[in-house]
Structure 1
Amino acid sequence: MISVDAVGVEFSGTTLFSNITFNINPTDRIALMGKNGAGKSTLLKIIAGESKPTLGKVTAPKEAVIAYLPQHLLTADECTVFEETSKAFSKILDMKNRMEELNHQLETRTDYESDAYSKIIEEVSELSEKYYSIEEINIDAEVEKTLLGLGFVRSDFTRSTSEFSGGWRMRIELAKILLQKPDLILLDEPTNHLDIESVQWLEEFLKNSAGGVMVISHDKAFVDNLTNRTIEITRGRIYDYKTNYSHYLELRKERREQQQRQFDDQAKQIAEIQQFIDRFKGTYSKTLQVQSRVKMLEKIEIVEVDEVDTSALNIKFPPARRSGNYPVIATDLGKSYGDHVVFKDVTLTIARGEKIAFVGKNGEGKSTLVKAIMGEIPVDGTLQVGHNSEIGYFAQNQASLLDEKLTVFETVDEIAKGDIRSRIKDLLGAFMFSGDTIDKKVKVLSGGERTRLAMIKLLLQPVNLLILDEPTNHLDIKTKDILKDALKAFEGTLILVSHDRDFLDGLASKVFEFGNKRVKEHFEDINGFLRNKKMENLKEIERTK
């Protein structure tokens, strides 16, 4: 069991949280929830031993292994994917090498009676006991199984890690963590860089093969399927619920309603006491009663109502011209890079007003087809973008196109038109920009902040064909809901590349599946698609190919 005892953190005189105490049991699957800035990532780092608290401590058994996957990391580029992942077993391999080295000394030395010889025997015995107590592992097989589960293909194993994007390097680090079989796995937004199949694989692995898990995630379906406990950080303290995320939301609502009733009752009581004091404070015969009530007021501990985000914001895309009947028509489309075929013989038609999901493993051509529609890359075959199509496009690199000299507020202010102008601060707040943040220059924003700002810009532009490539990676649950509502109300045509099942649920009515150099059309929503896919065992078939 791992204990968090009276932990507190202060920054420059400001208390982030204080006196946080709870235990983590071996079978706990914990969702760590709270608004952005509440201190979730900070608490995770403290439990991982990456940061020290201002007050309190974290205690764990001596042999306990705690593994931590941060949101952002830097990996070395000196070896292949397979070699880097195999480092998960470095302690076992080091132990084996040391035993071989010591046994060789025992075979070649002749000073049998010396203290040095005795010490070698002692060390070999101790190491042997540890080494042979470890369950026998086929290291290569375990590495291969984990890498394939996280979306790599065998040809990736011998490639240098330097050839992979940050998201794929994150998967390598995740693979190393999973292979260590730690007592506690701490994950900060692990699904941001995973496709749907890899998220499902990770979910199953953590449920069936992991010890304790604590996760920060904005993927509601992921945390609901995985967790059996929810810890919420709010107003510098925690609430601990022995239940999953969806049920926690119901219990949290009940808690806040109860707090509000207590607050209202107390406010009424305080008003009555104050009224008595004001009325009789100059009356000699009531002096003792007045003094008694003044002391009573001083002793009252004000009931706090936990912050609840009531800033419901309805965003509507500005009206745009009506597009032609078929905004996208592709016939016999193909794309190759040298000998590598991304896809071929793709024929599809997207009608006006349809909301489409592009799903499939990373590297199967989803973003490539999007870039082809945008005219950014040449392709074989015929690709037509329909008459009067006004395209709004969001990709991760949109963030790099922002004007770095402007502030956050100026970036939005220069594009906002109509009624939304009076609610720019509300809009920025919904996308996690508030207080002094709105006056920051774009050049000092983090990657996630820039991505959110680019999304706001897109929401304010009149378009009739909207293409979003992984739009939810840096959004919290509430912000995703605001975006989802805006997209539901969007009257144009929508193409969504996403691995977020909960976000796609109720939004996309048709699925295009990318895999094995083909694009297959499924006339059903994401839930129907996944249900059928599971029944057909396509997930397992594709994973082994």
Structure 2
Amino acid sequence: MILLQAQQVARHFGADILFTNIDIDIQESSRIGLVGRNGVGKSTLIQMLLGNTEPDEGKIVKKRGLTIGYLAQNTGLESEKTVFEEMKSVFNYLQKMEEQLHLLEVSIATASDHSTADYTKLTKQYDQLLHDFKEQNGYGYENEIKAVLHGFNFYDETYNRPVSSLSGGQKTRLALAKLLLEKRELLILDEPTNHLDIDTLTWLEKYIQGYQGALLIVSHDRYFLDKIVTEIYEIDHHHSSYYKGNYSNFIKEKDIRLKQAWKNYEKQQNEINKLEDFVNKNLVRASTTKRAQSRRKQLEKMERLEQPEGDTKGPRFSFSSTKESGNVVLTVTDAAIGYDNNIIAAPINIDLRKHKIMAIVGPNGIGKSTLLKSILHKIPFITGTSELGTNVQLGYYDQEQKNLHPQKTVLNEIWDDHPTLPERDVRSILGSFLFIGDDVKKVVHNLSGGEKARLLLTKLALQHDNLLLLDEPTNHLDIDSKEVLEQALLHFNGTILFVSHDRYFINKVATSVLEIEPSGSTLYLGDYDYYISKKEEQELLATDKLKEVATIQPDISAGKLTYQQGKQHQKQERKLQRLVLEAEKKVDTLDQQKKNIELQMSNPEYFNDISKLQQLQQQLSAVSIQLEKAEVAWEQSSLALEEFLEK
């Protein structure tokens, strides 16, 4: 069944066309990705689909009574209720049903005559209401709320916090959590992966794959689109194109279509040139005039193909180093990162070699950005050291974009750093990063996040360093700019250490992945998919090892073990005891870290420091996730030991 259709819709701004002839069909089971460069009109189209604005041409047709859930980009939930109360409000209808059930139970219990028609009607009403209540998960909706909140990193300690006290990112996550619980027929999500770390993204992908309604997703997260969508609509050059399959298939199919379009166009152009040449040469000759006139008519009737429009002109940049570094570029030894002697993660070890690209991953709040700042000596390590190798020149991309002067123009932001460059050259360089004409006169504080990102990349490219530290470099960039950045990094002749939650980007450029957890760092020598597969493999091995140790049964003969069997039995028992102690130690360490963070959050000095409280809340969420995993591991190993000793 079709839920919603956009039929030949258009949006004009005076004589300018934003888009025209847009067609979209959304079926009840659709999984659609809406893609296109920043500024092509994706958000404008969504407002039309929602019914908030009318198209200048065409029409939007919806199924009667269609329920739509919408998450706007960077829009959070606003409420004076607590986190849990706000989520429970989704299920008000179940709470009313529950109240009605209790009233009916009282009426049935106090009825004096069970043989009357009224009593029979009462019990039937109760049975039907109870059936409906069970069918709609009346006994399990609170657990459903907790599961979704847990998936978005909200734990018991946050349930009673007012929504109004949360950070912007937390409010956005909570808005998405509420939408998922509401189970609308059509869910429209505009950049839903903003503010989500990799663990939360992975959870969301698994959850949303089982969503019963239709999905329309606008996202720059290519990995997320690959996992979720089965159809792509692209808005490009004012028109829409439809592709079956996920994002990767869309890229392949688009390339095939573009090559075929050029082939057809060039073939027709050759034919046109031949016909025109014949007409020009033979129209005035008596012997060939009729043939020339025939070919001219053929030209006039020909439906001419438009020249295919390839990718809109995007940024063009590259990174290069002017000096070779030594083979060992960066060494971090037994480092502990954190603030105010509160350790977030330790020990961290890095051995980064020349021409390698290492990605740093981990949950929000675990200290990934802090690690980069500690390497830069902006924040001291609590313990441990870092050392740069021979001839290392270090460049830094700051995700907070503090390396830009808010009052300078775009032109002066570059020119002040390179005063000997002619203005023409500065403008040319900025032009390659899409700052064209009067764009260079814009003041930095008026720039969009994407423009600031491109300006920072411009500055970094002009430094010609041989070690780049990049903190979330793909934030604010559209897909095409990300792809240009990927190519620039892949062709860079230096070394790169970067923090990112963009899994597609990590897959594309990383030669190794360093995972940061409260218990320290672990290195994986491959891309993101390799890292995930190894993690899953390690978890399976750990589980299988535990089962193997726990299920070994000694061969008991005549009521007692042989000497060799006894030794084997003791060995397995010691191994299980060691696993229990290691798991218990990890739980204790993480529990103490959690208490330290909570203690800091209760410090009156920070009550009015929103930035500090948000930072601490991120750390608390990260540690809570690790603590929960550690507690599960401890319970499994303890149970295995108990079962072994009982045999």
What TM bracket, shorter-length normalisation?
A: 0.7 to 0.9
Corresponding position of 2:374: 372
- Structure 2 letter corresponding to 1:142: E
Seen in structure 2, the aligned counterparts of structure 1 residues 133 and 159 have a Cα distance that, compared at 3 Å, is closer
Paired residue secondary structure (2:306):
coil
Q: Closer, same or farther in 2 for the Cα pair 1:163/1:471, shift >3 Å?
A: farther
1:252 corresponds to 2:264: no
Tell me the SS of whatever aligns to 1:209. coil
Q: CA separation in 1, counterparts of 2:424 and 2:434? A: 18
Q: Matched residues in 2 for 1:419 and 1:148: separation?
A: 54
Q: Which of residues 35, 57, 65 is equivalent to 1:55? A: 57
Structure 2 SS opposite 1:264:
helix
**Matches of 1:248 and 1:164 in 2, distance apart?**
38
What's the counterpart of residue 113 of structure 1? Answer: none
Aligned partner of 1:6 among 5, 8, 27? 8
Give distance in 1, aligned partners of 2:43 and 2:284.
55
SS at match of 1:362: coil
Q: 1:296–1:427: structure 2 CA closer, same or farther, 3 Å change rule?
A: farther
Residue from 148, 170, 176 that aligns with 2:150: 148
Residue 357 of structure 1 is matched in structure 2 by 359
Match of 1:319 in 2: 322
CA distance in 2 between counterparts of 1:145 and 1:437 reads 47
**CA spacing shift, 1:537–1:96, aligned 2, 3 Å:** farther
Aligned residue for 2:157, secondary structure, equals helix
Q: Partner residue of 1:335?
A: 338
Q: Is contact 1:313-1:426 (8 Å) kept?
A: no
Residue pair 2:317, 2:432 contacting (<8 A) in 1 also:
no
- Tell whether the 8 Å contact from 2:331 to 2:349 is kept in structure 1 after alignment: no
Confirm or deny: 8 A CA contact 2:337 2:345 kept in the other structure.
yes
Q: CA deviation at 1:325?
A: 3.3
The AA in structure 2 aligned to 1:46 is: M
- Residues of 2 paired with 1:83 and 1:389: CA distance? 54
Match of 1:120 in 2: none
Task: Call closer, same or farther: CA 1:384–1:237 in 2, change over 3 Å.
Answer: closer
Q: Decide which moves more: 524-533 or 312-321.
A: 312-321
Moved more, 207-216 or 271-280: 271-280
Shift of 1:531: 0.4
Structure showing greater radius of gyration is 2
Q: Deviations over 1:110-137 (max 9, x none)?
A: xxxxxxxxxxxxxx99x97997597124
Q: Which of 487, 490, 496 is 2:489 aligned to?
A: 487
Choose 497-506 or 533-542, whichever is displaced more.
Answer: 533-542
Match of 2:512 among 510, 513, 518: 510
Partner of 1:110: none
Equivalent in the alignment of 2:93:
92
Q: How many residues align?
A: 525
Sort the Cα spacing of 1:157 and 1:295 in 2 relative to 1 into closer, same or farther, 3 A: farther
Deviation at 1:321, TM superposition (A): 6.1
Amino acid at match of 2:488: A
Query: Could you say if the C-alpha distance between residues 505 and 93 of structure 1 is closer, same or farther in structure 2, counting changes exceeding 3 Å?
Result: same
Matched with 1:178 is: 180
Counterpart residue number, 2:136: 135
Deviation (angstroms), 1:530: 0.5
Residue deviations 1:152-199, cap 9 Å, x none? 444343444455443333222221222222222222222232222222
2:498 paired residue among 489, 496, 499: 496
**Equivalent position of 2:170 in the other structure:** 168
Q: Note closer, same or farther for the CA distance 1:447–1:433 as it changes in structure 2 (3 Å cut).
A: same
Shift of 1:505: 1.7
Residue identity in the other structure for 2:306: E
d(CA) in 2 for partners of 1:423, 1:27 = 53
Closer, same or farther: CA 346–406 of 1 in aligned 2, 3 Å: closer
TM-score (ref. length: structure 1):
0.81
1:20-31 alignment, distance < 5 Å? 20-31=22-33
Residues 227 and 245, structure 1, Cα contact 8 Å, conserved in 2: yes
Asked if 2 retains the 8 angstrom alpha-carbon contact of 1:256 and 1:305, the reply is no
User: What are the superposed Cα offsets for residues 495-528 of structure 1, whole Å, 9 maximum, x if unpaired?
Assistant: 2111122211253233222224433333444222
Kindly state the Cα deviation for residue 315 of structure 1 after the two structures are TM-superposed: 0.7
Q: CA deviation at 1:3?
A: 1.4
**What's the secondary structure of 1:327's corresponding residue?**
strand
- 2:266 is matched with 264
Question: In structure 2, what is the Cα distance between the partners aligned to 1:473 and 1:334?
Answer: 24
Which moved further from structure 2: 521-530 or 424-433? Answer: 424-433
- 8 Å Cα contact 1:84/1:172 also seen in 2: no
Q: Which residue of 1 aligns with 2:236?
A: 234
**Cα offsets for 1:37-71 (capped at 9, x unmatched):** 32223222322334432222222223322222222
Deviation at 1:409, TM superposition (A): 4.7
Q: Over the residues paired in the alignment, what is the CA RMSD in angstroms? A: 4.2
CA gap of 1:84–1:492, structure 2 versus 1, over 3 A, is farther
Bigger helix share: 2
Aligned partners of 2:103 and 2:47: how far apart in 1?
A: 38
Conserved 8 A contact 1:464-1:491: yes
Contact kept, 8 Å, 2:191 with 2:218, in 1: the verdict is yes
Moved more, 14-23 or 438-447: 438-447
Asked if 1:394 corresponds to 2:397, the answer is: yes
Match of 1:17 among 1, 14, 19: 19
Give the match's secondary structure for 1:505.
Answer: helix
Q: Is the 8 A contact 1:336 1:343 kept in 2?
A: no
1:188 paired to 2:184? no
Report which stretch shifted further, 375-384 or 155-164: 155-164
Distance in structure 2 (CA, Å) of the matches to 1:440 and 1:219: 29
Pairs within 5 Å for 1:84-123:
84-87=86-89, 89=90, 92=93
1:362 Cα deviation from its structure 2 partner: 0.7
Which stretch shows the higher mean deviation, 449-458 or 407-416? 407-416
For residues 335-392 of structure 1, what are the alpha-carbon distances to aligned partners after superposition, in whole Å with 9 as ceiling and x for unaligned?
3558x64224444444454432211111122122222222233442132332654332
Residue 397 of structure 1 aligns to a residue whose secondary structure is coil
SS at match of 1:342: strand
1:517–1:335: structure 2 CA closer, same or farther, 3 Å change rule?
A: farther
> Gapped runs of 5+ residues in structure 2?
108-124, 544-624, 630-647
Q: Secondary structure at the match of 2:361?
A: strand
Instruction: Answer yes or no: is 1:528 the counterpart of 2:493.
Output: no
| Cα distance, 1:472 vs structure 2 | 0.8
Cα shift readout 1:241-285 (whole Å, capped 9, x = no counterpart) = 222222222222222222223322333444455446655777899
TM-score, length of structure 2 as denominator length: 0.70
- Choose 405-414 or 463-472, whichever is displaced more: 405-414
Write the letter of the residue equivalent to 1:397: E
